[in-house]
Amino acid sequence: MKALYFDGSLSIKEMPDPVPARGEALIQVLAAGICNTDLEITQGYMGFNGILGHEFIGLVVECDNPFLRGKRVVGEINCPCRNCRYCRMEMTRHCVERTVLGIQGRHGAFAEYLCLPEENLHLVPDSIQDETATFTEPLAAAFRIVEQLSPSSEDKILVLGDGKLAQLITQTLWLYSKNTICLGKHPWKMELLRNFGITAVPFEKYKGESADIVVEATGKSDGLTHALQLIRPEGSVILKTTCYEGSPLSSVSAVVNEVKILGSRCGPFRPALEALALGTVEVRPMISEAYALSDGVRAFSRAKCPDVMKVLLHMR
């Protein structure tokens, strides 16, 4: 099979088709999205070498469960051991022996085929197009915030950043509180949110009150510093940024104001798929460009550019 492989540089390689282990499914990848995590990995984040990619939709080719064969699926990316302390505590996303699709110890989705445990798979409703379905995994990460905080309609929420994940987070939280505001830097990106009736303002022009919840999704190392400047005493800061260079932290304001700081990563697929099926979260305007897998190196180059949002790869 063809695959986009990273080993210090990106290249298209011919590789053996993957062989599913017991309990796993062999999946023909239909489309996949390039995200900031993929870009950070090429800068050294996670020290990963292999096939990148974890936002995908595919077609089940082989598996033990006959019901899944031939079905379109998306997949949760963490593959736990089921035996460690955290697995026994039902915290499988934090399994100490886990592999993570395209990120840690497991080849990813920028290939013609991949393998994932059957239990990780979710059927995609017919009403969701392939390109739309590639947003399921990052949208689930947005719904993780809802799991962690249960925001109310009275909460004032600020989302820092206007990139791919910040857009999904803003749309998601706006479903729960119309007092959600995106603070961005790029006029054309903020306009995407304004088209849905969501308030988006330039970060440097925001003069409003401090917020009950601040979500840091800038993708920048100084995002947490800005978040702590905008949160009210005893408020909650949610961290979504993962970047290779790390993040400096002056803890004084967090201590004095008794701020809760929560890391937030992967989330539930079911509400994400429901939102995509119902159109309560709209992702199609975020798709800037799409490329064939054979043109994957160029696609990565374009995904780094400031004039694009989401770049997709089509495998067939």
Mean pLDDT of the chain: 95
Residue 242 has pLDDT above 90, yes or no: no
Instruction: Report the predicted TM-score, pTM, of the whole model to 2 decimal places.
Output: 0.95
pLDDT of residue 255: 87
Regarding whether 116 and 145 lie in a shared domain, the answer is no
Under the banding of pLDDT at 50, 70 and 90, the label for residue 45 is: confident
pLDDT of residue 244: 62
Query: Does a structural domain hold residue 269?
Result: no
Q: What is residue 269's three-state secondary structure?
A: helix
Q: What is the CATH number of the domain that holds 166?
A: 3.40.50.720
pLDDT of residue 220: 84
Regarding whether 224 and 208 lie in a shared domain, the answer is yes
Under the banding of pLDDT at 50, 70 and 90, the label for residue 245 is: low
The pLDDT of 94-114, averaged and rounded, is 97
Regarding whether 112 and 165 lie in a shared domain, the answer is no
Using alpha carbons, select from 33, 28, 44, 29 the residue that is nearest to residue 312.
33
The pLDDT of 302-315, averaged and rounded, is 96
201-235 tens-digit pLDDT: 999 999 999 999 999 999 887 889 999 999 999 99
Query: Does a structural domain hold residue 271?
Result: no
Regarding whether 126 and 32 lie in a shared domain, the answer is yes
Q: What is residue 2's three-state secondary structure?
A: strand
Regarding whether 77 and 102 lie in a shared domain, the answer is yes
pLDDT of residue 256: 86
Query: Does a structural domain hold residue 274?
Result: no
Query: Does a structural domain hold residue 109?
Result: yes
HSE at residue 19, side-chain half, CA atoms within 13 A, is 1
Residue type at position 313: L
Under the banding of pLDDT at 50, 70 and 90, the label for residue 23 is: very high
Regarding whether 8 and 131 lie in a shared domain, the answer is yes
pLDDT of residue 151: 96
Under the banding of pLDDT at 50, 70 and 90, the label for residue 257 is: confident
159-217 tens-digit pLDDT: 999 999 999 999 999 999 999 999 999 999 999 999 999 999 999 999 999 999 999 99
The pLDDT of 116-133, averaged and rounded, is 97
Query: Does a structural domain hold residue 278?
Result: no
Query: Does a structural domain hold residue 272?
Result: no
Q: What is the CATH number of the domain that holds 128?
A: 3.90.180.10
The pLDDT of 47-58, averaged and rounded, is 96
Query: Which 3-state string (H, E, C) describes 61-129?
Result: EECCCCCCCCCEEEECCEECCCCCHHHHCCCHHHCCCCEEECCEEECCCCECEEEEEHHHEEECCCCCC
5-18 as b/e: b if 16+ CB within 10 A: bbeeebebeebeeb
Tell me the sheet residues that pair with 72: 59
Regarding whether 287 and 228 lie in a shared domain, the answer is no
H helices of 126-268, in order, are 130-133, 136-149, 164-174, 187-194, 223-230, 252-256
Regarding whether 156 and 62 lie in a shared domain, the answer is no
Regarding whether 222 and 201 lie in a shared domain, the answer is yes
Regarding whether 125 and 8 lie in a shared domain, the answer is yes
pLDDT of residue 81: 94
pLDDT of residue 83: 94
pLDDT of residue 287: 98
The pLDDT of 126-135, averaged and rounded, is 98
Q: Domain count of the chain?
A: 2
pLDDT of residue 6: 97
Residue-by-residue DSSP string for 121-162? EEEPPTTS-HHHHTTHHHHHHHHHHHHHH---TT--EEEE--
Regarding whether 205 and 151 lie in a shared domain, the answer is yes
Query: Does a structural domain hold residue 270?
Result: no
Regarding whether 9 and 109 lie in a shared domain, the answer is yes
Owning domain of residue 168 = 139-263
**CA 246 to CA 5: how far, in whole Å?**
25
Query: Does a structural domain hold residue 292?
Result: yes
pLDDT of residue 241: 84
Task: Tell me 281's DSSP state.
Answer: S
pLDDT of residue 246: 65
